[in-house]
Structure formats: structure tokens, C-alpha cells
């Protein structure tokens, strides 16, 4: 009887695995039909020891794409409501952490034929007396159709329009020099709650000389320590950042008062190669939900 | 009974292996195309931005404003962003104040505008301008799109955009063009 149940479970497991493979195949096919220019990796890290880097731009579509590489400067900033913005500047940048003036890209313009890829290389030529720490720029990968046609009016007195949809991806570029310190401090936490939602505002400041990149993990627990909900957010604090975190209160027999448990760490990022992460301090605390 | 189930099990396993053999190489080749010489972790997080439909006003008549509705499939401009599901992205749309007709001896400008409710964001793959997926954010200001996480289920985020053109009564006939630029960046990197 038990072996029968075990076998049923095994069959279900095999069927689920087959379905999973089918979904992957389906998504891969769909992405091939509709995908635009693909850019990888999502960050380029250079240093005193490694002054060159690379990035691959791929055109998986059946139409040629015109691709242009440029640089901007911008770090994530937040407003008082905890919303994050990336304000990009491409000229008149005076920030002391800007690498804009001494980073070069090769090539800067290209036409990517269907189903081809191009490696773009970066070279850093930093000034000699660079202070320890991290310097930043954004690699702007701009793509649009390689051949665009403007629709002609069907009659002489008609007006036709064509809006070219241009896509731009801003990739992080970091240059690291000398002794690197990754340190974060939480200046304050405000927590608000309704019957269905707890909203926390976590105000952080970077005390190191590199961007603090890690994970902000928030858990909402009841008086007995049972988890009500949780939220993991990829975190990048360059200077100051106020993050809004929303935690739903799901229906259940939860005992009040609720507690918000916060954990911030540079560990656990799966989207960044381990050698590119700089280990920093870990912050853990909890606060009672009013 | 047990023997029968064992046969089913072995056929299922064989099927799964065959499917894996057929599909596996294409997926592996796809990954290699993207990430030659790059760590696998980075390949997973690759960011793709695509325009799947242009904002289309169709034929425009002098003196009559024309709306491209963000909820009409044939009219809405559609951008798709694919990347790491759950990762938050910052989006910025550069919208033109006018379209330009650069035909020699016939140059003219066609005013266009975008209202504070001309954009919707959908984080599902099934959503269309006419029928959004669950949890879609509607009536957003395209000049200040909120930072939003890429949908976890489909690793996708779609932007549906509408707009209006205002031709003057003596607007020159011809073809008018302009650029709409979407800039996308991960906020957590």
C-alpha cells in the first residue's frame, strides 16, 4: 500500500518535471519570437588590477538592430515616500565618485544582424592619485530597429505618423581602487499599519567607500513568532536610501502585537558573481508594529 | 496492478529523458550565445527591453485631435522588459513634445502630448493593452513611472502607453516622426 502511494508520488513528480521542461521550452520559444537586444551581464566591475571589462550584446530577433553605447552617471536615490529613482546625467557631472571621464567603450556603434552578438569592451584610465573606494558610471545600451520605414500618406492631403520606440538599458559599471570598505547604517525605521498591510520605511546611509550591495529581508511575525508575511529586496545603497517595504497581513488567527524583523546583509545575492560582491556588515533588528 | 504502474513509471521517465535530450541542447546553446565567458549567475539576470508595438495614431486629419488609446491593441505603444523575476527596475520614458515632418520644402511640427494617466504597467505575460493581467498598475503618469518589480511568474514587465496628437487646421500633409525612448535599470545593483 505504502509502496503504491510512493509510486504514485513518483509518477506525479515525473509528470511535474516533464511539464516544467515543457514550460521552459515554451518560454524559450516565445522569447525568441519577441525578444529585443539582450545585454549581459547586468554589471561590469573593473579595478586597479583589471582595467578592462566586457559586455555582450545579442540580437536574437530576425531583424537588424542598431546599437549605440554611451555613458551616464546616476545612482539610486529615494524620495520621502520611499520610492526609488535613478536620475541619469550624461554631462556636467561633478560628482567625485563619477568614472564618466575616464572610461571608454569599443565599439560605440554597431549594426547587429539577426541572431548575432557583439562583445563590447571597456577600458578604464583613471587619474593617478585616485582615492580608495569605488567609482561609478552607467553603460547605456541603446537599441532600435536597424531599418525604419515611415508610413506614407494614402492620399496627398493626409497626415501619417511614426513613433520610433527606442530601448535603452542602463548597466552598472564600477571601478574599484585600493582598500574597500562596505558598511551600512540604519538611521531609522518607521512602521505604519492598517488592517491588511504593514508598511515600513527603512532609512539607510552608506558609511563605507563602496556601494553596499546586498539583500534587505523583512519578516512580519505575530506575538508567538509565527510568520505572517515576508519580503526580500535586492538592495544597493550608494549614499543614502529610504526603502519602502510592504508586508501584507494575511487572514489567520495571529496574536498581536506584531513584530517586524529586519535583516540586511551582503550575502545571498544570486544575480551577481561572488567575486564581484564586497562583503559588508550585517544588520539585524526588530521593532514592534504599532 | 503494481507491475502496470511500474511500466507507466518507466515510460514517463523515458519520455522525460527524451524531452530533455531534445530540448536541453537548444536551451544550453541559447545560454552560451548570451554569456560567452561570463559567469552563469550573470546570464540568469540578463535584461532585455523590447518594443512589441509602436504607438500608432493611424491617419490624422487637420484640425482634429487624435488619441492613441493605451487600452486598444492596435493603437497602444507596448514595451516589454524581461529579466530576473522579483527584481525591481527603474524606468524612465523620454516623450517627444512634437512629431517632425522633414520633407524638403514641407517641414512642419505636429504637437503631441501625454497625460498623467497615459501609462499602465502589467507584470504578467498574458496581459494585453485591452485585458491586463492580475495586479496591473493603471493610469500612471508616463513622465514618472514608479519603480516596479519584474513579475515573478513570467519574468516580465509590460508598459502600455497612450498619447494624443493635436494637428492644427493648416497642418501640412505628410509623414511625421519622433522618438520615444525607454531607459531601464535595475535599482538593486
Chain-chain contact of A159 with B62 (C-beta, under 8 angstroms): yes
How many CB contacts within 8 angstroms connect chain A with chain B? 251
Comparing alpha-carbon positions, the chain B residue that sits nearest to A21 is: B20
- Which residues of chain A lie closer than 8 angstroms to B39, CB-CB? 41, 273
> Average pLDDT, stretch A73-80?
92
- pLDDT for residue A33: 37
C-alpha cell at B14: 523515458
Name the A residues in 173-212 with CB < 8 Å from any B CB.
none
Shortest Cα distance from B72 to chain A (angstroms)? 16
Residue B189 binned pLDDT confidence (cut-offs 50, 70, 90): confident
Shortest Cα distance from A230 to chain B (angstroms)? 13
Query: Rounded CA gap, A95 and A101, in Å?
Result: 11
Is the peptide bond preceding residue A169 cis, with omega within 30 degrees of 0? Answer: no
- pLDDT for residue A151: 66
- pLDDT for residue A157: 75
Name the A residues in 48-87 with CB < 8 Å from any B CB.
54, 56, 58, 60, 74, 76, 83-86
Chain-chain contact of A56 with B1 (C-beta, under 8 angstroms): no
Name the A residues in 221-280 with CB < 8 Å from any B CB.
232-236, 270-274
ipTM confidence score: 0.78
- Which residues of chain A lie closer than 8 angstroms to B12, CB-CB? 11, 14-15, 18
Query: Rounded CA gap, A95 and A74, in Å?
Result: 10
What's the predicted TM-score (pTM) here?
A: 0.78
C-alpha cell at A117: 552578438
- Which residues of chain B lie closer than 8 angstroms to A233, CB-CB? 88, 188
B148 near A CB under 8 A:
no
Nearest to A244 by CA among A236, A256, A233, A257: A233
What does each C-alpha distance from A63 to A34, A136, A146 come to in angstroms? 11, 33, 7
B168 near A CB under 8 A:
no
Residue A2 binned pLDDT confidence (cut-offs 50, 70, 90): very low
Chain-chain contact of A165 with B180 (C-beta, under 8 angstroms): yes
Query: Rounded CA gap, B62 and B167, in Å?
Result: 5
Residue B45 binned pLDDT confidence (cut-offs 50, 70, 90): low
- pLDDT tens-digit profile of B160-184? 999 999 999 999 998 999 999 999 9
Grouping H, G, I as helix, E, B as strand and the rest as coil, residue B4 is: helix
Name the A residues in 119-178 with CB < 8 Å from any B CB.
119, 138, 140, 142-143, 150-154, 156-172
Element (H, E) at B8: helix B2-34
Residue B69 binned pLDDT confidence (cut-offs 50, 70, 90): very high
Helix, strand, coil shares, percent, chain B, to 5 = 20, 35, 45
Query: Rounded CA gap, B21 and A231, in Å?
Result: 37
Question: Could you tell me which residue, A154 or A143, shows the higher pLDDT?
Answer: A143
pLDDT over 60 at B55, yes or no = yes
pLDDT over 60 at A27, yes or no = no
| Contact predicate B93/B182, CB 8 Å | yes
- Cα dihedral A49/A93/A96/B189 (nearest 10): -60
Q: Can you give the C-alpha Rg of chain A in angstroms?
A: 25
Shortest Cα distance from B138 to chain A (angstroms)? 17
Nearest to A139 by CA among A69, A52, A46: A69
Burial class (CB in 10 A: 0-12, 13-18, 19+), A199: middle
Nearest to B13 by CA among A77, A69, A18: A18
Shortest Cα distance from A35 to chain B (angstroms)? 6
A117 near B CB under 8 A:
yes
Residues with Cβ within 8 Å of B67's Cβ and at least 6 positions away in sequence, in order, are B75, B162, B163, B164
Element (H, E) at B34: helix B2-34
Element (H, E) at B86: none
- Which residues of chain B lie closer than 8 angstroms to A243, CB-CB? none
Comparing alpha-carbon positions, the chain A residue that sits nearest to B53 is: A165
Transcribe A19-68 into DSSP letters: HHHHHHHHHHHHHHHH--EEEE-SEEEEESS--EEEEEEEE-SSS-EEEE
Chain-chain contact of B41 with A235 (C-beta, under 8 angstroms): no
Domains of chain A with bracketed CATH: 39-177 (2.60.40.10), 184-288 (2.60.40.10)
- Which residues of chain A lie closer than 8 angstroms to B41, CB-CB? 270-274
Least confident of A74-83, A104-113, A176-185: A74-83
- Cα dihedral A209/A211/A214/A216 (nearest 10): 100
Query: Rounded CA gap, B108 and B103, in Å?
Result: 9
pLDDT over 70 at B73, yes or no = yes
Shortest Cα distance from B178 to chain A (angstroms)? 5
Query: Rounded CA gap, B81 and B78, in Å?
Result: 10
B184 near A CB under 8 A:
yes
Query: Rounded CA gap, A53 and A51, in Å?
Result: 7
Name the B residues in 43-62 with CB < 8 Å from any A CB.
43-52, 54-57, 59-62
> Average pLDDT, stretch B121-143?
95
- pLDDT for residue A62: 87
Residue B45 — φ and ψ, nearest 5°? -100, 10
pLDDT over 60 at B66, yes or no = yes
- Which residues of chain A lie closer than 8 angstroms to B9, CB-CB? 7, 10-11, 14
B92 near A CB under 8 A:
yes
Chain-chain contact of B54 with A163 (C-beta, under 8 angstroms): yes
Question: Could you tell me which residue, B84 or A27, shows the higher pLDDT?
Answer: B84
Amino acid at each position: 500500500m505504502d509502496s503504491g502511494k510512493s509510486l504514485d508520488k513518483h509518477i506525479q513528480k515525473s509528470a511535474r518535471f516533464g511539464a516544467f521542461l515543457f514550460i521552459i521550452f515554451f518560454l524559450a520559444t516565445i522569447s525568441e519570437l519577441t525578444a529585443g537586444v539582450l545585454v549581459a551581464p547586468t554589471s561590469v566591475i573593473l579595478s586597479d588590477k583589471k582595467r578592462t571589462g566586457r559586455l555582450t550584446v545579442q540580437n536574437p530577433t530576425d531583424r537588424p538592430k542598431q546599437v549605440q553605447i554611451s555613458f551616464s552617471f546616476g545612482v539610486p536615490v529615494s524620495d520621502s515616500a520611499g520610492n526609488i529613482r535613478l536620475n541619469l546625467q550624461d554631462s556636467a557631472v561633478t560628482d567625485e565618485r563619477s568614472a564618466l571621464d575616464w572610461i571608454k567603450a569599443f565599439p560605440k556603434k554597431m549594426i547587429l544582424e539577426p541572431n548575432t552578438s557583439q562583445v563590447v569592451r571597456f577600458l578604464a584610465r583613471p587619474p593617478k592619485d585616485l582615492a580608495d573606494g569605488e567609482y561609478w558610471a552607467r553603460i547605456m545600451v541603446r537599441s532600435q530597429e536597424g531599418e525604419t520605414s515611415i508610413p506614407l500618406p494614402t492620399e496627398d492631403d493626409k497626415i501619417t505618423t511614426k513613433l520610433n520606440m527606442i530601448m535603452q538599458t542602463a548597466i552598472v559599471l564600477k571601478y574599484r581602487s585600493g582598500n574597500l570598505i562596505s558598511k551600512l547604517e540604519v538611521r531609522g525605521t518607521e512602521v505604519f499599519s492598517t488592517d491588511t498591510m504593514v508598511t515600513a520605511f527603512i532609512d539607510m546611509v552608506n558609511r563605507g567607500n563602496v556601494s553596499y550591495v546586498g539583500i534587505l529581508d523583512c519578516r512580519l511575525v505575530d506575538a508567538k513568532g509565527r510568520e505572517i508575511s515576508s519580503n526580500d529586496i535586492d538592495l544597493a545603497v550608494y549614499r543614502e536610501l529610504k526603502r519602502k517595504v510592504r508586508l501584507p497581513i494575511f487572514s489567520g488567527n495571529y496574536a498581536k502585537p506584531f513584530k517586524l524583523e529586519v535583516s540586511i546583509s551582503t550575502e545571498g545575492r544570486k544575480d551577481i558573481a561572488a567575486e564581484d560582491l564586497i562583503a559588508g556588515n550585517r544588520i539585524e533588528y526588530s521593532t514592534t508594529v504599532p | 496492478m503494481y507491475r502496470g504502474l511500474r511500466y507507466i513509471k518507466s515510460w514517463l521517465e523515458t519520455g522525460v529523458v527524451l524531452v530533455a535530450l531534445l530540448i536541453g541542447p537548444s536551451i544550453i546553446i541559447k545560454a552560451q550565445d548570451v554569456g560567452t565567458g561570463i559567469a552563469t549567475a550573470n546570464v540568469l539576470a540578463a535584461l532585455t527591453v523590447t518594443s512589441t508595438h509602436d504607438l500608432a495614431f493611424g491617419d490624422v486629419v487637420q484640425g482634429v485631435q487624435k488619441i492613441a488609446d493605451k487600452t486598444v491593441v492596435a493603437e497602444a505603444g507596448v514595451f516589454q522588459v524581461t529579466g530576473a523575476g522579483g527584481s525591481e527596475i527603474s524606468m524612465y520614458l523620454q516623450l517627444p513634445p512634437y512629431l517632425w515632418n522633414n520633407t524638403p520644402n514641407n517641414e512642419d511640427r505636429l504637437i503631441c502630448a501625454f497625460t498623467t494617466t497615459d501609462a499602465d504597467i502589467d507584470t504578467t505575460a498574458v496581459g494585453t493593452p485591452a485585458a491586463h493581467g492580475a495586479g496591473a498598475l493603471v493610469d500612471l503618469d508616463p513622465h514618472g513611472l514608479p519603480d516596479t518589480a519584474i513579475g515573478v511568474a513570467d519574468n516580465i514587465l509590460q508598459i502600455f502607453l497612450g498619447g494624443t496628437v493635436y494637428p492644427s487646421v493648416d497642418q501640412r500633409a505628410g509623414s511625421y516622426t519622433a522618438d520615444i525612448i525607454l531607459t531601464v535599470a535595475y535599482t538593486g545593483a
